[in-house]
Structure 1
Amino acid sequence: MASKELETRIVDLEEATWRALQKSGEGMIPFITDDCIMQFPLGMKVTSRSDPNVQDILRSEAFIPWKSFELSKVDVQPLGDSAAIISYLARATRPGMDDGDATLGFEALCSSVWRWDAEKYSLCFHQQTLAQ
């Protein structure tokens, strides 16, 4: 796949995961591999074998959907013939816990690895480092 075409596809997929997470955590499940690893700020790492596992986290009633998001400083690099990495700065907000009108800000450097599995690219790794 040509580099520009790959970049467009991976950026579109990454933005689609953020849009899915504006509705529910479960909306992200169709985008991830069965062996997906996710690493979040404050030392939280979830895998298919962790307790709770990736799908438990995404299906949790405690999940709070994103209210808004913006990705900037986006870079995509191929990883051989069957994968690509994307890195970017994410700025996002979630509704506040106590006041429905308040929002909580989030700013992080993020990276994801997308792997080609038979017929589509799927997310196999995602990591966030707080930028604030």
Structure 2
Amino acid sequence: MTTPTLTNPSLTAAICSLEHKAWAALCSSGAELVPLLSSNPVMIFPSNLILTSVSSPTVHDMLQGSDFQPWKSYKLSHDEVVILGKDSALIYYRVEATRDSETFRAICSSAWVLEGASEGVTGDWKMAHHQQTLI
């Protein structure tokens, strides 16, 4: 019997790249992140903030609202990817991000799912969940 492996180098690289793409989008505008989100995303932030596609405000409202403040820079470290199945993966890491005089440090995780996949169609990886814990 073969020992199961929890890694897939190409999928791991793709998920890491997507997470960087998400943070890079947040350095531009919240609206830049929207195309990377799943059809029903859940985002959990420090200070008791849970955003979904049906929350009030919705995750889309917050990202595209006039109050959204882009990050100036970010750095991810200690990132690890756990393959959950052929169509889902979890990434967790530490982040240090800055904007104005604020430095944000957190442990984060994101779940990515393959959406729109059907016979003959590749589909796209989308962020279904994101969570941040301050450190």
- What's the TM-score, normalizing by structure 1? 0.91
Q: 1:11 offset after TM fit, Å?
A: 0.4
The one-letter amino acid of 1:109's match is I
For 2:22 and 2:86, the matched residues in 1 are separated by: 23
**Could you list the per-position Cα deviations for residues 87-114 of structure 1 after superposition, in whole angstroms to 9, with x for gaps in the alignment?**
000000012xxxxxxx200000000000
Q: 1:34 offset after TM fit, Å?
A: 1.7
Structure with bigger gyration radius: 2
**Aligned: 1:32 with 2:37:** yes
Q: 1:120 offset after TM fit, Å?
A: 1.0
Which residue in 2 is equivalent to 1:124? 128
Identity between Structure 1 and Structure 2 (%) = 39
**Aligned: 1:5 with 2:10:** yes
Q: 1:26 offset after TM fit, Å?
A: 0.4
Which of 100, 106, 109 is matched with 1:108 structurally? 106
**Could you list the per-position Cα deviations for residues 1-29 of structure 1 after superposition, in whole angstroms to 9, with x for gaps in the alignment?**
x7111110000000001111111000000
For 1:52 and 1:113, the matched residues in 2 are separated by: 22
For structure 2, list consecutive stretches of 5 or more residues without a partner in the other structure.
1-6, 118-122
**Could you list the per-position Cα deviations for residues 51-71 of structure 1 after superposition, in whole angstroms to 9, with x for gaps in the alignment?**
000100100111110001000
- What's the TM-score, normalizing by structure 2? 0.89
Please list every run of at least 4 consecutive aligned residues from structure 1 whose deviation after the TM superposition is greater than 6 angstroms: none
The one-letter amino acid of 1:22's match is C
For structure 1, list consecutive stretches of 5 or more residues without a partner in the other structure.
96-102
For 1:62 and 1:54, the matched residues in 2 are separated by: 13
**Aligned: 1:87 with 2:92:** yes
| Secondary structure of 2:68 counterpart | coil
Cα RMSD of the aligned pairs, angstroms, is 0.8
